[in-house]
Amino acid sequence: MLSAPPLLLANADAGGGTALRNLRAAVRQAPNRAVLRITHSPSEARAVLRTHWADGTRRFVAAGGDGTLHLLVNTLHGMGVLPQAEAVGLAPVGTGNDLARSLALPEALPEALHLACTAPPRPMDALAIQNRGVTERLALNVCVGGFGGYIDKALSRGPKSLLGPLAYVMGAAQVLPKLRRYDLTLTLDGTPMARSDVLNVVVANAATAAGGLEVAPGADPFDGQLNVVTVRAGSPSQIAGVVRQVLTGCYINHPLVTAYTAQSVQVETDPPIVCNADGELLSHAPNAFVVEPGLVPMVCSPSPKA
Protein backbone atom coordinates (compact mmCIF):
# COMPACT_ATOMS: atom_id res chain seq x y z
CA MET A 1 0.00 0.00 0.00
CA LEU A 2 1.38 3.43 -0.97
CA SER A 3 1.84 5.89 1.86
CA ALA A 4 0.10 9.25 1.70
CA PRO A 5 2.10 11.95 -0.10
CA PRO A 6 4.06 14.57 1.84
CA LEU A 7 2.08 17.56 3.06
CA LEU A 8 3.56 21.01 2.36
CA LEU A 9 2.06 23.40 4.88
CA ALA A 10 2.37 27.05 3.84
CA ASN A 11 1.44 30.29 5.54
CA ALA A 12 -0.30 32.65 3.11
CA ASP A 13 1.82 35.51 4.49
CA ALA A 14 5.18 33.69 4.42
CA GLY A 15 7.75 35.61 2.43
CA GLY A 16 5.15 37.67 0.56
CA GLY A 17 3.26 36.95 -2.64
CA THR A 18 6.35 36.28 -4.75
CA ALA A 19 7.43 33.45 -2.44
CA LEU A 20 4.04 31.76 -2.75
CA ARG A 21 4.08 32.04 -6.54
CA ASN A 22 7.52 30.42 -6.58
CA LEU A 23 6.30 27.76 -4.18
CA ARG A 24 3.30 26.85 -6.33
CA ALA A 25 5.57 26.51 -9.37
CA ALA A 26 8.12 24.39 -7.49
CA VAL A 27 5.48 22.04 -6.05
CA ARG A 28 4.47 21.00 -9.55
CA GLN A 29 7.96 19.51 -9.91
CA ALA A 30 8.21 18.13 -6.36
CA PRO A 31 8.60 14.37 -5.91
CA ASN A 32 6.30 11.91 -4.14
CA ARG A 33 3.08 13.63 -5.25
CA ALA A 34 3.56 16.33 -2.61
CA VAL A 35 0.38 18.18 -1.64
CA LEU A 36 0.45 21.94 -0.99
CA ARG A 37 -1.96 23.48 1.50
CA ILE A 38 -1.87 27.26 1.94
CA THR A 39 -3.44 28.39 5.20
CA HIS A 40 -4.48 31.81 6.48
CA SER A 41 -4.46 31.35 10.26
CA PRO A 42 -2.90 29.10 12.91
CA SER A 43 -6.25 27.46 13.61
CA GLU A 44 -6.70 26.61 9.93
CA ALA A 45 -3.16 25.21 9.77
CA ARG A 46 -3.75 23.02 12.82
CA ALA A 47 -6.99 21.70 11.31
CA VAL A 48 -5.17 20.85 8.05
CA LEU A 49 -2.48 18.96 9.95
CA ARG A 50 -5.02 16.96 11.95
CA THR A 51 -6.94 16.04 8.80
CA HIS A 52 -3.86 14.91 6.90
CA TRP A 53 -2.57 12.88 9.84
CA ALA A 54 -5.91 11.08 10.03
CA ASP A 55 -5.67 10.43 6.28
CA GLY A 56 -2.27 8.74 6.67
CA THR A 57 0.23 11.52 6.02
CA ARG A 58 3.48 10.92 7.89
CA ARG A 59 5.94 13.31 6.16
CA PHE A 60 5.30 17.01 6.78
CA VAL A 61 7.08 19.99 5.26
CA ALA A 62 6.85 23.54 6.58
CA ALA A 63 6.88 25.76 3.51
CA GLY A 64 7.79 29.04 5.15
CA GLY A 65 10.12 30.19 7.90
CA ASP A 66 10.81 29.37 11.53
CA GLY A 67 7.28 30.40 12.54
CA THR A 68 5.61 27.93 10.16
CA LEU A 69 7.89 25.12 11.34
CA HIS A 70 7.22 26.12 14.96
CA LEU A 71 3.47 25.77 14.41
CA LEU A 72 3.80 22.47 12.53
CA VAL A 73 6.00 20.77 15.13
CA ASN A 74 4.00 22.07 18.08
CA THR A 75 0.76 20.85 16.52
CA LEU A 76 2.12 17.34 15.97
CA HIS A 77 3.59 17.40 19.49
CA GLY A 78 0.26 18.54 20.95
CA MET A 79 -1.51 15.73 19.10
CA GLY A 80 0.94 13.27 20.69
CA VAL A 81 2.05 11.96 17.29
CA LEU A 82 5.43 13.61 16.71
CA PRO A 83 7.36 10.39 17.52
CA GLN A 84 5.32 8.54 14.87
CA ALA A 85 6.04 11.06 12.10
CA GLU A 86 8.28 9.73 9.33
CA ALA A 87 9.99 13.08 8.78
CA VAL A 88 9.65 16.83 9.19
CA GLY A 89 11.12 19.02 6.47
CA LEU A 90 11.54 22.71 5.80
CA ALA A 91 11.25 24.56 2.50
CA PRO A 92 12.67 27.97 3.49
CA VAL A 93 10.48 30.63 1.88
CA GLY A 94 10.08 32.77 4.99
CA THR A 95 11.71 36.11 5.77
CA GLY A 96 14.32 35.04 8.32
CA ASN A 97 14.95 31.33 7.57
CA ASP A 98 17.34 31.05 10.51
CA LEU A 99 17.00 27.35 11.28
CA ALA A 100 17.45 26.64 7.57
CA ARG A 101 20.95 28.10 7.91
CA SER A 102 21.86 25.73 10.74
CA LEU A 103 20.46 22.81 8.74
CA ALA A 104 22.43 23.94 5.65
CA LEU A 105 19.34 23.59 3.48
CA PRO A 106 19.63 24.47 -0.22
CA GLU A 107 18.81 28.09 -1.01
CA ALA A 108 17.17 27.16 -4.31
CA LEU A 109 13.54 26.23 -3.66
CA PRO A 110 13.30 23.21 -6.03
CA GLU A 111 16.35 21.60 -4.41
CA ALA A 112 15.09 22.37 -0.91
CA LEU A 113 11.70 20.84 -1.70
CA HIS A 114 13.25 17.72 -3.20
CA LEU A 115 15.38 17.23 -0.07
CA ALA A 116 12.41 17.84 2.26
CA CYS A 117 10.19 15.37 0.39
CA THR A 118 12.67 12.53 -0.06
CA ALA A 119 15.64 12.60 2.33
CA PRO A 120 15.80 10.50 5.50
CA PRO A 121 15.55 12.52 8.72
CA ARG A 122 18.10 13.04 11.44
CA PRO A 123 16.95 13.21 15.10
CA MET A 124 17.12 16.89 16.04
CA ASP A 125 16.87 18.39 19.50
CA ALA A 126 13.99 20.60 20.59
CA LEU A 127 13.87 23.26 23.29
CA ALA A 128 11.00 22.59 25.70
CA ILE A 129 9.62 25.82 27.17
CA GLN A 130 8.15 25.11 30.57
CA ASN A 131 6.17 26.66 33.41
CA ARG A 132 5.96 24.82 36.74
CA GLY A 133 7.44 21.69 35.18
CA VAL A 134 4.89 21.52 32.33
CA THR A 135 6.01 21.92 28.72
CA GLU A 136 3.87 24.63 27.15
CA ARG A 137 5.49 24.58 23.73
CA LEU A 138 8.60 23.55 21.83
CA ALA A 139 11.07 25.87 20.15
CA LEU A 140 13.30 24.62 17.36
CA ASN A 141 15.62 27.57 16.98
CA VAL A 142 15.98 30.27 19.67
CA CYS A 143 14.11 31.78 22.62
CA VAL A 144 15.05 35.40 23.37
CA GLY A 145 14.04 37.45 26.39
CA GLY A 146 14.73 41.06 27.32
CA PHE A 147 15.61 43.70 24.76
CA GLY A 148 15.58 41.01 22.05
CA GLY A 149 11.98 40.25 22.98
CA TYR A 150 11.08 43.92 22.94
CA ILE A 151 12.79 44.40 19.57
CA ASP A 152 10.67 41.58 18.20
CA LYS A 153 7.58 43.22 19.70
CA ALA A 154 8.49 46.50 17.99
CA LEU A 155 9.04 44.71 14.68
CA SER A 156 5.64 43.02 14.94
CA ARG A 157 4.04 46.44 14.49
CA GLY A 158 5.93 47.13 11.26
CA PRO A 159 5.99 45.67 7.74
CA LYS A 160 7.17 42.08 7.63
CA SER A 161 9.26 42.86 4.55
CA LEU A 162 11.72 44.63 6.88
CA LEU A 163 12.54 41.52 8.89
CA GLY A 164 16.19 40.58 9.06
CA PRO A 165 19.35 42.34 10.29
CA LEU A 166 18.24 45.78 9.03
CA ALA A 167 14.95 45.44 10.88
CA TYR A 168 16.84 44.34 14.00
CA VAL A 169 18.81 47.60 13.88
CA MET A 170 15.61 49.60 13.41
CA GLY A 171 13.94 47.75 16.28
CA ALA A 172 16.99 48.28 18.48
CA ALA A 173 16.88 52.01 17.80
CA GLN A 174 13.31 52.06 19.16
CA VAL A 175 14.05 49.90 22.19
CA LEU A 176 17.51 50.86 23.46
CA PRO A 177 16.54 54.30 24.83
CA LYS A 178 14.01 52.66 27.17
CA LEU A 179 15.81 49.47 28.18
CA ARG A 180 14.48 47.57 31.18
CA ARG A 181 16.86 45.84 33.57
CA TYR A 182 16.02 42.46 35.04
CA ASP A 183 17.25 40.94 38.28
CA LEU A 184 18.16 37.48 36.98
CA THR A 185 18.59 34.25 38.91
CA LEU A 186 19.93 31.60 36.53
CA THR A 187 20.14 27.88 37.41
CA LEU A 188 21.95 25.56 35.01
CA ASP A 189 21.53 21.78 35.37
CA GLY A 190 20.48 22.35 38.98
CA THR A 191 23.44 24.58 39.86
CA PRO A 192 22.55 28.18 40.80
CA MET A 193 24.69 30.81 39.11
CA ALA A 194 25.50 34.24 40.46
CA ARG A 195 22.55 36.64 40.39
CA SER A 196 23.04 39.47 37.98
CA ASP A 197 21.41 42.59 36.57
CA VAL A 198 20.74 41.78 32.90
CA LEU A 199 19.15 43.28 29.80
CA ASN A 200 18.85 40.19 27.64
CA VAL A 201 18.83 36.39 27.85
CA VAL A 202 19.10 33.96 24.93
CA VAL A 203 18.34 30.25 25.30
CA ALA A 204 19.25 28.62 22.02
CA ASN A 205 18.96 25.32 20.22
CA ALA A 206 20.58 26.77 17.09
CA ALA A 207 22.86 29.70 16.37
CA THR A 208 21.08 32.52 14.53
CA ALA A 209 18.00 34.73 14.72
CA ALA A 210 16.60 37.83 12.98
CA GLY A 211 17.69 36.70 9.53
CA GLY A 212 21.23 35.50 10.19
CA LEU A 213 22.45 37.27 13.32
CA GLU A 214 24.56 34.92 15.46
CA VAL A 215 22.86 35.28 18.83
CA ALA A 216 24.30 32.00 20.17
CA PRO A 217 27.52 31.25 18.27
CA GLY A 218 28.37 27.56 18.36
CA ALA A 219 24.86 26.36 19.21
CA ASP A 220 24.19 22.99 17.56
CA PRO A 221 20.65 21.54 17.33
CA PHE A 222 22.06 17.99 17.33
CA ASP A 223 24.37 18.05 20.38
CA GLY A 224 21.87 17.51 23.22
CA GLN A 225 22.75 20.87 24.79
CA LEU A 226 21.24 24.32 25.06
CA ASN A 227 23.37 27.43 24.69
CA VAL A 228 22.61 30.29 27.06
CA VAL A 229 23.85 33.84 26.50
CA THR A 230 23.23 36.75 28.87
CA VAL A 231 23.89 40.47 28.39
CA ARG A 232 24.50 42.27 31.66
CA ALA A 233 23.40 45.84 32.25
CA GLY A 234 25.83 48.61 31.34
CA SER A 235 26.03 52.16 30.11
CA PRO A 236 24.16 53.18 26.94
CA SER A 237 27.43 53.30 25.00
CA GLN A 238 28.38 49.80 26.21
CA ILE A 239 25.01 48.37 25.16
CA ALA A 240 25.27 50.09 21.80
CA GLY A 241 28.63 48.32 21.48
CA VAL A 242 26.97 44.97 22.22
CA VAL A 243 24.41 45.60 19.47
CA ARG A 244 27.16 46.56 17.01
CA GLN A 245 29.02 43.36 17.81
CA VAL A 246 25.84 41.30 17.37
CA LEU A 247 25.69 42.65 13.82
CA THR A 248 29.31 41.64 13.17
CA GLY A 249 28.91 38.18 14.70
CA CYS A 250 31.42 38.52 17.55
CA TYR A 251 29.42 39.85 20.50
CA ILE A 252 30.18 36.79 22.62
CA ASN A 253 33.58 38.41 23.35
CA HIS A 254 32.09 41.61 24.78
CA PRO A 255 32.82 42.02 28.52
CA LEU A 256 29.10 42.34 29.32
CA VAL A 257 28.26 39.04 27.60
CA THR A 258 28.49 35.60 29.22
CA ALA A 259 27.87 32.25 27.51
CA TYR A 260 27.00 28.87 29.03
CA THR A 261 25.86 25.41 27.94
CA ALA A 262 23.39 23.23 29.83
CA GLN A 263 20.66 20.65 29.37
CA SER A 264 18.20 22.41 31.67
CA VAL A 265 17.90 26.11 32.40
CA GLN A 266 15.79 27.81 35.06
CA VAL A 267 15.24 31.52 34.66
CA GLU A 268 13.76 33.77 37.33
CA THR A 269 13.58 37.49 36.65
CA ASP A 270 12.14 40.49 38.39
CA PRO A 271 10.16 41.91 36.65
CA PRO A 272 8.95 39.05 34.38
CA ILE A 273 10.87 39.08 31.13
CA VAL A 274 9.29 39.55 27.67
CA CYS A 275 10.20 36.57 25.46
CA ASN A 276 9.79 35.26 21.95
CA ALA A 277 10.30 31.70 20.73
CA ASP A 278 11.27 31.17 17.09
CA GLY A 279 10.11 34.75 16.52
CA GLU A 280 6.68 34.15 18.10
CA LEU A 281 5.89 36.38 21.09
CA LEU A 282 4.98 34.46 24.26
CA SER A 283 2.00 35.57 26.29
CA HIS A 284 3.89 35.20 29.58
CA ALA A 285 7.41 34.57 30.80
CA PRO A 286 8.53 30.93 31.02
CA ASN A 287 10.57 29.85 34.01
CA ALA A 288 12.43 26.83 32.63
CA PHE A 289 13.90 25.46 29.42
CA VAL A 290 14.87 21.82 28.89
CA VAL A 291 16.54 20.21 25.90
CA GLU A 292 14.63 17.28 24.37
CA PRO A 293 17.39 15.36 22.58
CA GLY A 294 16.54 13.95 19.16
CA LEU A 295 12.81 14.63 19.52
CA VAL A 296 12.20 15.93 15.97
CA PRO A 297 12.80 13.69 12.91
CA MET A 298 14.24 16.59 10.90
CA VAL A 299 15.43 16.58 7.32
CA CYS A 300 18.69 18.47 6.92
CA SER A 301 21.68 18.64 4.62
CA PRO A 302 24.04 15.65 4.84
CA SER A 303 26.57 18.10 6.30
CA PRO A 304 24.68 20.69 8.39
CA LYS A 305 26.63 23.78 9.44
CA ALA A 306 25.94 23.23 13.13
CB atoms within 10 A of CB 166: 12
Q: Indicate if the pLDDT at residue 306 is higher than 90.
A: no
- Segment 17-30 shows an average pLDDT of 76
Q: Indicate if the pLDDT at residue 160 is higher than 50.
A: no
CA distances from 132 to 75, 106, 109, 129 (A): 21, 39, 41, 10
Side-chain half-sphere CA neighbours of 16 within 13 A: 8
Q: Indicate if the pLDDT at residue 161 is higher than 50.
A: no
- Segment 241-252 shows an average pLDDT of 73
Q: Indicate if the pLDDT at residue 31 is higher than 80.
A: no
> What are the residues whose beta carbons fall under 8 Å from the beta carbon of 111, sequence distance 6 or more?
none
Nearest in space to 268 (alpha carbons), one of 166, 196, 214, 211: 196
Domain locations in the chain?
7-120, 131-293
Q: Indicate if the pLDDT at residue 132 is higher than 70.
A: yes
Percent of the chain with pLDDT over 70: 85
Q: Indicate if the pLDDT at residue 239 is higher than 80.
A: no
Q: Which of 22-36, 78-92, 154-168, 227-241 has the highest mean pLDDT?
A: 78-92
Q: Indicate if the pLDDT at residue 149 is higher than 60.
A: no
Task: Identify whether the C-beta of residue 214 lies closer than 8 Å to the C-beta of residue 244.
Answer: no
| pLDDT value at residue 171 | 52
**Residue 303 confidence class, pLDDT cut points 50, 70, 90:** low
For every residue of 73-106, DSSP letters joined together read HHHHHHHT-GGG-SEEEEEE-SS--HHHHHTT--
Topology of domain 131-293, per CATH?
Tumour Suppressor Smad4 (2.60.200)
**Residue 140 confidence class, pLDDT cut points 50, 70, 90:** very high
| pLDDT value at residue 223 | 96
**Residue 253 confidence class, pLDDT cut points 50, 70, 90:** confident
**Residue 208 confidence class, pLDDT cut points 50, 70, 90:** confident
pTM passes above 0.85:
yes
| pLDDT value at residue 176 | 56
| pLDDT value at residue 304 | 64
d(CA 237, CA 13): 37
Higher pLDDT among residues 168 and 132, named by residue: 132
Instruction: Write out pLDDT tens, residues 172-181.
Output: 555 555 677 8
| pLDDT value at residue 175 | 54
d(CA 285, CA 273): 6
CA distances from 184 to 227, 239, 254, 281 (A): 17, 17, 19, 20
| pLDDT value at residue 69 | 95
Q: Is the domain covering 7-120 a CATH 3.90.1300.10 domain?
A: no
Higher pLDDT among residues 28 and 201, named by residue: 201
Higher pLDDT among residues 62 and 233, named by residue: 62
By mean pLDDT, which of 37-41, 99-103, 249-253 is the weakest? 249-253
Q: Indicate if the pLDDT at residue 1 is higher than 60.
A: no
Q: Indicate if the pLDDT at residue 32 is higher than 80.
A: no
